[in-house]
């Protein structure tokens, strides 16, 4: 739901317009370094990463869609290769970046999604690689995701593998629960991906006066929420129209299924990305 994946250890950046990268390329570089360490892979430095992104974008600037008409999707990728069959780190590695112009994820603004909670399969477990952007974390969601889509759901929301009652994340999105002026999201404890859009939305929400909590969030809190939304690179914010759990469907009211908080945060972040509002966060990287 939140964009293409199929890589080993990477960052991801989605720039809007021809002059800037947003969110900060540096955040993606740091995530690649952290993920690479967990996967026993050497990583480019933050400076090398950012410079490579800039060079790639500038070399392909003719493919950047006009502001508001789409984006240039940037995919940094780190691959292990070489003549080895044994269970060991690869003898050599390739760091590359490819880009592709993409249209707007939704043709007409935001659109609510319908999720089903999975309580049989788990995406990740403590001590594993759930917090790393590696291909294995996407392979594990395919079976449950396919079954859910065959039943008409947009995607799957996973629970923790220990208690089976706390929210983890959607197949490739972080999740947020709104109750009054408080916004809660599962804490980064090694089993969920530290999304860059997740981090951006937290900071934007706090700047607007919301109380944001990163903690364990139970299914009961989710079902009693005023509003629920997901975050990811391609969609930025994806409002949740309904959650189905153990055969019970809970719907969230809003303007055509889009809650007030989801709309506000989506508008705020995309306006900053597109240069419509002043970047007081220091996220935008200008290209020469």
Write out the E strands in the chain.
Answer: 20-21, 71-81, 92-102, 113-118, 155-159, 167-170, 174-179, 182-186, 211-215, 227-232, 236-245, 248-251, 285-286
Burial of 190: CB neighbours in 10 Å, binned 0-12, 13-18, 19+: middle
Looking only at the bridges linking them, the beta strands covering 71-81 and 227-232 are unpaired
> Active-site residue 107, yes or no?
no
Instruction: Identify the active-site residue in 1, 69, 107, 133.
Output: 133
Within the chain, residue ranges assigned H as helices are 25-38, 46-59, 136-139, 142-150, 196-207, 219-223, 260-273
Integer Cα distance of 75 and 25 in angstroms: 11
Looking only at the bridges linking them, the beta strands covering 155-159 and 113-118 are parallel
Integer Cα distance of 212 and 177 in angstroms: 10
Integer Cα distance of 275 and 210 in angstroms: 23
Integer Cα distance of 47 and 50 in angstroms: 5
Any idea which residues carry the catalytic annotation? Answer: 133
């Amino acid at each position: 739901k939140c964009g293409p994946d199929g890589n080993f250890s990477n960052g991801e950046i989605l720039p809007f317009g021809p002059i800037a990268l947003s969110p900060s390329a540096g955040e993606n570089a740091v995530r690649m370094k952290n993920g690479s360490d967990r996967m026993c892979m050497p990583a480019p430095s933050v400076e090398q990463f950012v410079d490579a992104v800039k060079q790639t974008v500038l070399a392909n600037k003719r493919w950047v869609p006009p502001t508001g008409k789409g984006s240039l999707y940037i995919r940094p990728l780190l691959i292990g290769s070489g003549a080895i069959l044994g269970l060991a780190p690869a003898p050599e590695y390739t760091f590359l970046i490819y880009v592709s112009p993409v249209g707007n994820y939704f043709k007409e603004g935001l659109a609510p999604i319908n999720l089903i909670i999975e309580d049989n399969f788990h995406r990740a477990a403590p001590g594993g690689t759930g917090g790393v952007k590696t291909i294995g974390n996407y392979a594990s969601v395919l079976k449950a995701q396919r079954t859910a889509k065959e039943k008409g759901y947009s995607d799957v929301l996973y629970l923790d593998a220990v208690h089976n009652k706390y929210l983890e994340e959607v197949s490739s999105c972080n999740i947020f629960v709104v109750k009054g002026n408080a916004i809660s999201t599962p804490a980064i404890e090694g089993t969920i991906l530290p999304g860059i859009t997740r981090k951006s939305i937290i900071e934007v929400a706090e700047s607007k006066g919301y109380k944001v909590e990163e903690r364990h969030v139970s299914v009961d809190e989710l079902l009693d929420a005023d509003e629920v939304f997901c975050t990811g690179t391609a969609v930025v914010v994806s409002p949740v129209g309904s959650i189905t759990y153990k055969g019970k469907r809970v719907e969230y009211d809003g303007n055509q299924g889009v809650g007030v908080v989801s709309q506000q945060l989506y508008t705020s972040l995309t306006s900053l990305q597109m240069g419509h509002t002043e970047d007081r966060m220091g996220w935008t990287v200008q290209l020469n």
